Amino acid sequence: MQTHFRVEDHAWARSLADVLIDEFEDAAHGGFFFTSHDHEPLFHRTKPGHDNATPSGNGVAARALIVLGHLCAEPRYVEAGERVVRLFAPALAHSPAGYASMLGALADLQDPPASVLLAGDPEICRGWQRALESKLRPFVHVFNVAGMALGPDLRKGEPPSSGAIGWVCRGTACLPPLSSLAEIERALIAEVRA
């Protein structure tokens, strides 16, 4: 969605998050099972949190839910991600090197990444997006939503009748709309973790 935002992709991401929580989450203890609740009965349902050759499914799920929850102001997603981190916190404290994906989720909980939503003139927004993404900012997500009809979960305000604006958000709180790339850059310097 950061490369080329489409409302359909955002709706699909929310659908996936809902299925993940409804069909895979261990409601009693937190975390996500490797198999769904309606899977054939197994002797043992795994809920891996340790990274191996690939990142842990629980770590990746937690991080994705936290970022999506902050983007669309959906506490249910952030809370599910937090339950994952809490479940694996003792193992994370004992062996942090084996839980890099979970450490990323923990960092996103403690200090949410900044999100920048760009709206207004599509050409100006494309230029701003290129400029913002030309610098390495791993804790900034840029979403160009110019010309799109956004639902209430993404709407931060009304797009301008001419020109472009950007909203810089941290977690679910956003600054007032900014009307120049320089203002957005200054806000990011103040908002982004060191």
Q: How much is the pLDDT for 24?
A: 93
Shared-domain flag, residues 143 and 186:
yes
Among 110, 133, 167, give the residue marking a domain's end.
110
Domain ranges, residue 120: 114-191
Higher local confidence (pLDDT), 39 or 9: 9
- Quote the pLDDT of residue 194: 42
Residue 107 has pLDDT above 80, yes or no: yes
CATH number at residue 123: 3.40.30
Looking at the structure, tell me whether residues 19 and 97 fall in a common domain.
yes
Is residue 2 situated within a structural domain?
Answer: no
80 and 124 both lie in a single domain? no
Domain stop point among 88, 110, 132? 110
Q: Is residue 1 part of a domain?
A: no
- pTM value is 0.88
Q: Is 74 part of any domain?
A: yes
Q: How confident is the model at residue 41 (pLDDT cuts 50, 70, 90)?
A: confident
Note the pLDDT tens digit of each residue in 10-26. Answer: 999 999 999 999 999 99
Same domain, 30 and 104: yes
Residue 141 and residue 102 share a domain:
no
Residue finishing a domain among 110, 129, 152 = 110
Same-domain status, 186 and 162: yes
What value does the mean pLDDT take over residues 131-150? 92
105 and 148 fall within a common domain: no
pLDDT of residue 193: 55
Query: Are 84 and 100 members of one domain?
Result: yes
Whether the pLDDT of residue 192 is over 70: the answer is: no
pLDDT reading at 183 higher than 90: yes
Residue 14 within any structural domain of the chain: yes
Give φ, ψ of 156 to 5 degrees: -105, -10
Q: Over the chain, what HEC string results?
A: CCCCCCHHHHHHHHHHHHHHHHHHECCCCCCECCCCCCCCCCCCCCCCCCCCCCCCHHHHHHHHHHHHHHHCCCHHHHHHHHHHHHHHHHHHHHCHHHCHHHHHHHHHHHCCCEEEEEEECHHHHHHHHHHHHCCCCCCEEEEECCCCCCCCCCCCCCCCCCCEEEEEEECCEECCCECCHHHHHHHHHHHCCC
Count how many domains the chain has: 2
Domain shared by 58 and 38, yes or no: yes
- Residues 100 and 119 occupy one common structural domain: no
Same domain, 147 and 63: no
**When comparing pLDDT for 40 and 162, which is higher?**
162
